[in-house]
Structure 1
């Protein structure tokens, strides 16, 4: 079986863009949450978010690319460029026919869609909209897979291309499916990751209405509190991470730096409820077990777990139960943390950002902390690395995610 290496990482994360700034924030345990600035959230119950300080032109995009793409698409183009540069792969270095693209997004071009609807409906006043006021790029706005085409065209990737939209596991599923493109021999290199820009009135209001997001507006930096007894809901985030996946033998032959390998991946659906979770975490536990089986590792081999850790009571307890079920007694020995405590929950992008954090943790020997964990929930009794990062050289790392619709996914990354 072909082994799949991670040879490049690019990130546009809350705070300043770029892989190194993202990693510095993780190591420092420094939350990026603040009051919402991307729209007027004064009428919302929750008014905090983890936003990216993003200037697309300063990040290398052309005015034409900015005009053509929603913010989530701009993130993907910038992160893909950084990842390929990190991998030492320019357009001329890629065999287009053997290069694929696999990206994840849960809500697509929600910001541009809302802007267009406001224009064609005269601010929502008219049921019958006037299409003559629509912008010239409505098709790519309505079709999220257009961003896959944008990335493929920009970097000359003529191989397999797909968009994965499985709710909040979209990013991790895109990495897993991208790895399988290589394992199955369909490609030698895959640009894989997730991207999302959901901090717009319509997306934000949906989560606000079901009281899933935190009302801790008076202390934004402390609002995201995974596994903490005082948590009040998750913090909406945005961003993108892209990984360059490559056949390991090919990467070694060209002398590439290898962060780690994608050793195992699995996904399950709970077939239970659109937003609810079984309290015993059986489906997530099954995804974890299957990913470990594919990676050929035992529970005691896992050196770190990057948790979904959204900061809702339901998820945190469900996830804790899943790790106990999948890892057995080893669950109490393995360090676990949630980087959502620092960068919020960016829906379809977060799984890719978490996978990128895992790859960097393996490569650099540091495990990110769970920020704001000061009063542990007694029902969440694992080692959640509270407060400060921990130095540790680990051989195998697990990252897991849960998504609306009942999606449960897990990926195992391993040191080469």
Structure 2
């Protein structure tokens, strides 16, 4: 069976304008989050990750002007990945596009305004484009058009696991020979009062906590996670095809496994059995150099990581979480974990979980400071609303 390898990557995240900036932030342990008071019911502070400049001027192309923020983010990250993989002059190849999206455009001003206008019965104020603003696949279709997708275009929407499961689907298409190249990514821009109110009611936001207190993985005093936005894209190919093109191979996506908790709506499997099951399958009794964890500052989720650390690795394998730096960009977070793991392999380092004091997680081997070493393999864990779990294993080629 063909190995599926990565030949390009691109990213737009809070405080992160490109891949080189992302690598620098990861290695230096830069917190790209901020506290705000304009999203909560009683003007409490909460912690978010916002993008100020994502590298595309929407006036530079007349068709960009009508695109939502999510599409522009995905295009910006995708163009960087395509340049890295030298895809601009590829001809006669079937190019599939696979994007993971969770809440999509719900955080955009246009979406929120349309909801307000409809509630006020202002028919003429509703934009004709609202059907696409509310449809996550329209985001992927727009990104695919501008990035040169010419075959299958798919949107995977399984909560925060969406983009990691997009990688899973793309691998299947490549291995079966249905496509030759896969542009795989994730994007979300969900930050809004509506989202903040909902997550506040479920007690998973760090209200009135400072950056020293909240949205911190592996810390029992953290009250919740940081809502964030962003986009990441990787280019996947069969190894033999990448070799024929003579492009740099960054790493191999050896396996991705996903499943569901099997719980009814509004419920969650707090045991973590299903996430452990997925991780056990991809690890195959091996010990990766570290685990790129989904821990995000919500205690029930982070304790599942603690259980995985003990039951699979006897607390001997390092765990880290990049969410302490960039927050949780929902459907885009899985692909960002993949990209950070690939950077680890390419440049030889394990990024730290910044800001944590490790209270409540003392037994674990948490990476709190940058470790410079050769990295040959990384395991990734991911969990999302709706009960989906995903795990991946990434290797040096």
**TM-score range relative to shorter protein:** over 0.9
State the partner residue of 1:22: 22
State the partner residue of 1:184: 176
Distance 1:377 1:230, change over 3 A: same
Looking at structure 2, the residues matched to 54 and 205 of structure 1 have their Cα atoms a distance apart, in angstroms, of 26
TM-score when scaled to structure 2? 0.93
1:14 is paired with a residue whose SS is coil
Which one of 286, 295, 299 corresponds to residue 299 of structure 1?
Answer: 286
Contact 1:31 1:221 in 2 (8 A): no
Does 1:399 find its partner at 2:386? no
State the partner residue of 2:198: 206
Does 1:260 find its partner at 2:231? no
2:160 is paired with a residue whose SS is helix
Contact 1:214 1:235 in 2 (8 A): yes
TM-align CA RMSD: 2.0
State the partner residue of 1:52: 51
2:136 is paired with a residue whose SS is coil
Matches within 5 A, 1:195-274: 195-217=187-209, 219-220=210-211, 223-274=214-265
Distance 1:36 1:25, change over 3 A: same
State the partner residue of 1:409: 390
Looking at structure 2, the residues matched to 227 and 40 of structure 1 have their Cα atoms a distance apart, in angstroms, of 25
| 1:44 Cα deviation from its structure 2 partner | 4.7
Structure 1: runs of 5 or more not aligned: none
Structure 2: runs of 5 or more not aligned: none
Between 1:6-15 and 1:18-27, the stretch displaced more is 18-27
State the partner residue of 1:11: 11
Contact 1:65 1:74 in 2 (8 A): no
Aligned residue-pair number: 395
Contact 1:171 1:194 in 2 (8 A): yes
| 1:22 Cα deviation from its structure 2 partner | 1.6
Contact 1:304 1:334 in 2 (8 A): yes
TM-score when scaled to structure 1? 0.89
State the partner residue of 1:84: 82
| 1:285 Cα deviation from its structure 2 partner | 0.9
Deviations 1:295-348 (A, max 9, x none): xxx323x111000001111011112213433x2xx3422111010000001111
Looking at structure 1, the residues matched to 250 and 391 of structure 2 have their Cα atoms a distance apart, in angstroms, of 19
Does 1:333 find its partner at 2:306? no
State the partner residue of 2:297: 311
Contact 1:168 1:403 in 2 (8 A): yes
Looking at structure 2, the residues matched to 308 and 319 of structure 1 have their Cα atoms a distance apart, in angstroms, of 8
| 1:65 Cα deviation from its structure 2 partner | 4.2
